Amino acid sequence: MTTAKQSKDTAIGEVLNQNLEAAEQIKAAASELEVVHAVLSTQVPAKAAQGDLKAAVERTGEIEQQLSETAEAMDKSNAVLRELDSSTATGPTARK
């Protein structure tokens, strides 16, 4: 295997590991924000939830949804990276 090929294979593995960690952090943030949104939307009285406060409560729900969708997209990308990483590790030997 050439040095360039090894470097590319190593890079794919490193990017995959970084993406997996990032995806987990995004999922954790989405879960925390979901809890915050649930508390705000159930504990803030309807009379008080007006104007900026109402918009903030609604926005927490929207941001949680965006984070969840981003984590899902990262999971799909990571699946592709896993395939690439495993195919480079088990692929055909370099041709002479």
Domain count, the chain: 1
- Reported pTM: 0.75
Residue 42 within any structural domain of the chain: no
Query: What is d(CA 16, CA 22) in angstroms, rounded to the nearest whole number?
Result: 10
Angle at 79 between CA 62 and CA 89, to 5 degrees: 155
* Averaged pLDDT score across all residues of the chain: 87
Residue 27 within any structural domain of the chain: no
User: What are the pLDDT digits (tens) for 56-73?
Assistant: 999 999 999 999 999 999
Query: What is d(CA 36, CA 29) in angstroms, rounded to the nearest whole number?
Result: 10
Residue 91 has pLDDT above 70, yes or no: no
Helix residue ranges per DSSP H, the chain: 3-43, 51-90
Residue 38 has pLDDT above 80, yes or no: yes
Residue 96 within any structural domain of the chain: no
For 71, the domain range is 47-89
Contact call for residues 95 and 36 (beta carbons, < 8 A): no
